[in-house]
């Protein structure tokens, strides 16, 4: 009963709410994690296979057990196949999310998208031009129709390369061609991965992993990039704006609605309904002071980036926020929504609502959103949430929110620099900024919540490395107070000087998980300006607390694009030293970057600093020894 939960999380709100949940007799992801320990060693090492019904099979890594599955697949083949399927699932998830946005764009173009519209026509035209859609003299909706058509084609294109690869440095594109990993149709690469990993198809572990890179690249330069770009077209390209983070963003005297998931198609409409005068008046008639919308996970990040909507928490906080007893309704779309979450909600008055036909959950009411009904559906749900306000019992909001700034799109960053990336490059050349790191990905109960993200970020900015972040990492850093201009006192002198002059924080919120492509696009712009490849830049990536298949796909497209990437949790590959060696060493000679695995964020910071200083040296810039 005196447990302080400091082993589970560094976030004070999480510690206090875990204690509350313990008293309320609900269980959380941490409890369920304990019941799974010890994890199956075969699965942990990637050595179990259930790809067919001659099995399931497992390989004995040490003893005198079997060295091959029934079909003869050995450790290398099984590990590579399992990793390949992990990448395929991740790439499919981001890309399908992108496709849903393209379908909304198509509906808007046809005049059917109730409540949706084109918000960034400049971006619409830029993207249309990249896809060869002629612009001159055409109405926006016609351009949108032709662009939506071209984007839908991109998923199944018979051409040999994805269109948006044109943004990558020429050297990188040539390298992909020479390795035969230039991504083709987005669906094709995922489908081919499922084919290759069927029993009796690709049984060369190296060729499987090469296709894994191709599949991941079809996400990074295809599905995710389309998701990010079309979100900007429909909902606006983000610009810096103030916001707040942690569970203290919930309001005791207001109706609280939380959106959870990834796709802004639903959450944007919910936001509009929350802001409508009729709904606010209804809330007031029920004795509330208003309607407060907050986010968790990436659909929250999408709203934060474009509207400054506050973030109540990241992945491991999704159950805890309900324990405040202050949430009238949680509306979910898809991805990273734990199926147990309604069990926590059942201890309180919270209504749980699912909205996508492809994502249904036990204990939730299902209300399907379409572009055609979205506006009315959002209003109906908000109304229901308001009416639930009177069912509230005790409310426990134990912390004050932390201020943050979000909304750093590439356009916003370049805008802050005066219209070109030149000043950023100058600061890097002068050594004031040593380099940049993207810190991304989830929480995972294997790692103390937020500890990996926050510690790594703190060490990097201290050492004059600019941090850009997305997803749950970005929320962790917001809760830690790193995302306000005043946080420059935590940065080294050079980074402090540059960020101070620009009036920006040392840690820039780049958005949701599909927005990791914003990091790729910025890196490409820097590489192109210098006439080098992405792998030549003093940059790195990290996923200190990753858990999901999507994160695996992101990590692989970062590395395949030339970005050295440090993972916290070990992926399930240790059953094959050949695979481990390729991922952590061999890839350097193949794509100019590797993975490293380092659960200790202090050590991860050293690895990243060393990488960045080595890259500076190779570019002929001054280098510090690390």
Stretch that binds ligand CUV, among 145-153, 177-185, 546-554, 597-605 (CB under 6 A): 546-554
> What dihedral do alpha carbons 540, 546, 550, 552 form, nearest 10°?
60
Q: Which of 175, 499, 513, 526 binds ligand CUV (CB under 6 A)?
A: 513
Q: Which residues bind ligand SF4 (CB under 6 A)?
A: 49-52, 54-57, 69-71, 73, 78, 199
Candidates 9, 477, 548, 594: give the one binding ligand CUV (CB under 6 A): 548
Q: Pick from 441, 494, 541, 569: which binds ligand CUV (CB under 6 A)? A: 441
What is the 3-state composition of the chain as percent helix, strand, coil, each rounded to the nearest 5?
50, 10, 35
Q: Which two tokens stand for residue 557?
A: 């497209």
530 touches, from ligand SF4, ligand CUV, none (C-beta below 5 to 8 Å by class): none
Which member of 323, 327, 332, 472 binds ligand CUV (CB under 6 A)?
472
Handedness of CA 615, 211, 157, 226 (dihedral sign): negative
CA distance 316 to 445: 8
d(C-alpha 70, C-alpha 56), whole Å = 9
Provide, rounded to whole angstroms, the least separation between the CB of residue 96 and ligand CUV. 13
Residue closer to ligand CUV by CB (options 319, 536) is 319
418 binds, among ligand CUV, ligand SF4, none (CB under 5 to 8 A by kind): none
Q: What is 362-409 written as a DSSP string?
A: TT-EE----TTTHHHHHHHHHHHHHHHGGG-------S--EEEEE---
Which residues are 470's β-sheet partners? 511
471 binds, among ligand SF4, ligand CUV, none (CB under 5 to 8 A by kind): ligand CUV
Q: Which is nearer to ligand CUV, 438 or 471 (CB)?
A: 471
Interface with ligand CUV (CB under 6 A), residue from 175, 294, 404, 551: 551
Give the other-Cβ count within 10 Å of 281's Cβ. Answer: 10
Q: Which residue has the tokens 């939730």?
A: 364
Give which of ligand SF4, ligand CUV, none residue 69 binds (C-beta under 5 to 8 Å, depending on kind).
ligand SF4
Cβ closer to ligand CUV: 255 or 265?
Answer: 265
Q: How far is the CB of 205 from ligand SF4 (least distance, A)?
A: 13
Tell me the closest approach of the beta carbon of residue 78 to ligand SF4, in angstroms.
Answer: 6
Nearer to ligand CUV, 150 or 296 (CB): 296
In whole angstroms, what is the distance from residue 298 CA to residue 471 CA? Answer: 6
Contact 572, 536 (CB under 8 A): no
Residues 304-323 binding ligand CUV (CB under 6 A) are 314-315
193 Cα distance to chain centroid: 22
Q: What's the number of CA atoms in the CB half-sphere (13 Å) around residue 287?
A: 7
Interface positions, 395-414, toward ligand CUV (CB under 6 A):
none
* Residue among 233, 298, 465, 591 that touches ligand CUV (CB under 6 A): 298
Cα dist. 129→3, 146, 222, 456, 520 in Å? Answer: 59, 11, 16, 40, 20
Q: What is the 8-class DSSP label of residue 68?
A: S
SS3 243: strand
| Shortest Å distance, C-beta 476 to ligand CUV | 10
Interface residue with ligand CUV, options 87, 127, 442, 460 (CB under 6 A):
442
Candidate ranges 265-273, 359-367, 544-552, 585-593; the one touching ligand CUV (CB under 6 A)? 544-552
CB of 516 to ligand CUV, least distance (A): 9
* Sites of contact with ligand CUV (CB under 6 A): 262, 297-298, 314-315, 335-336, 441-442, 471-472, 512-513, 548, 550-551
């Amino acid at each position: 009963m005196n447990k302080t939960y400091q082993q589970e999380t560094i976030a004070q709100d999480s510690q206090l709410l875990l204690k509350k949940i313990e008293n309320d007799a609900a269980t959380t992801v941490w409890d369920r994690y304990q019941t799974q320990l010890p994890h199956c060693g075969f699965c942990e090492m990637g050595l179990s296979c259930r790809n067919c019904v001659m099995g399931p099979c497992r390989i004995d890594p040490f003893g005198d057990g079997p060295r091959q599955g029934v079909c003869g697949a050995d450790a290398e083949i099984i590990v590579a196949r399992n990793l390949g399927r992990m990448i395929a699932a991740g790439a499919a998830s981001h890309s399908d999310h992108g496709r849903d946005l393209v379908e909304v764009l198509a509906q808007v173009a046809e005049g059917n998208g109730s409540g949706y519209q084109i918000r960034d026509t400049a971006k619409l035209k830029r993207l249309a031009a990249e896809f060869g859609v002629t612009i001159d003299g055409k109405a926006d909706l016609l351009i949108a129709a032709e662009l939506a058509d071209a984007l839908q084609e991109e998923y199944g294109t018979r051409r040999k390369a994805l269109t948006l690869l044109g943004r990558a440095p020429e050297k990188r594109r040539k390298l992909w061609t020479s390795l035969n990993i230039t991504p083709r149709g987005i669906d094709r690469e995922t489908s081919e991965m499922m084919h290759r990993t069927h029993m009796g198809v690709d049984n060369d572990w190296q060729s499987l992993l090469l296709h894994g890179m191709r599949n991941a690249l079809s996400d990074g330069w295809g599905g995710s990039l389309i998701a990010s770009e079309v979100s900007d077209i429909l909902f606006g390209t983000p610009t810096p704006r103030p916001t707040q983070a942690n569970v203290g963003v919930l309001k005791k005297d207001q109706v609280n609605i939380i959106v959870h998931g990834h796709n802004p198609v639903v959450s944007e409409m919910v936001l509009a309904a929350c802001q409508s005068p009729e709904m606010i008046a209804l809330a007031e008639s029920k004795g509330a002071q208003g309607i407060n919308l907050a986010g968790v996970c990436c659909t929250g990040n999408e709203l934060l980036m474009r509207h400054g909507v506050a973030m109540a928490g990241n992945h491991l906080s999704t159950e805890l926020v309900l324990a405040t007893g202050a949430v009238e309704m949680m509306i979910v779309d898809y991805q990273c929504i734990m199926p147990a979450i309604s069990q926590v909600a059942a201890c309180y008055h919270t209504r749980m609502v699912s909205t996508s036909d492809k994502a249904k959950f036990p204990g939730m009411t299902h209300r399907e959103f379409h572009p055609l009904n979205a506006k009315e559906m959002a209003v109906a749900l908000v109304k229901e949430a308001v009416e639930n306000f009177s069912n509230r019992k005790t409310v426990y909001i134990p912390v004050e929110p932390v201020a943050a700034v979000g909304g750093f799109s590439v356009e916003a960053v370049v805008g802050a620099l005066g219209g070109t990336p030149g000043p950023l490059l100058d600061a890097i050349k002068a050594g004031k900024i040593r380099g940049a790191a993207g810190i991304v990905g989830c929480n995972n109960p294997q790692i103390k919540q937020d500890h990996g993200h926050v510690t790594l970020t703190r060490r990097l900015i201290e050492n004059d490395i600019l941090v850009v972040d997305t997803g749950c990492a970005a929320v962790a850093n917001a809760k830690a107070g790193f995302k306000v201009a005043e946080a420059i006192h935590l940065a080294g002198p050079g980074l402090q000087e540059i960020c101070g002059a620009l009036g920006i924080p040392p840690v820039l919120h780049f958005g949701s998980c599909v927005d990791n492509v914003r990091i790729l696009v910025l890196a490409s712009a820097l590489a192109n300006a210098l006439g080098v490849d992405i792998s030549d830049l003093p940059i790195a990536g990290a996923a200190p607390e990753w858990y999901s298949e999507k994160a695996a796909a992101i990590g692989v497209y970062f590395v395949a694009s030339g970005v050295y990437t440090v993972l916290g949790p070990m992926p399930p590959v240790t059953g094959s030293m050949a695979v481990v060696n390729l991922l952590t060493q061999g890839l350097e000679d193949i794509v100019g970057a590797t993975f490293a695995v380092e659960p200790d964020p202090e050590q991860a910071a050293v690895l990243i600093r060393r990488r960045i200083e080595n890259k500076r040296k190779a570019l002929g810039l001054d280098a510090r020894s690390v």
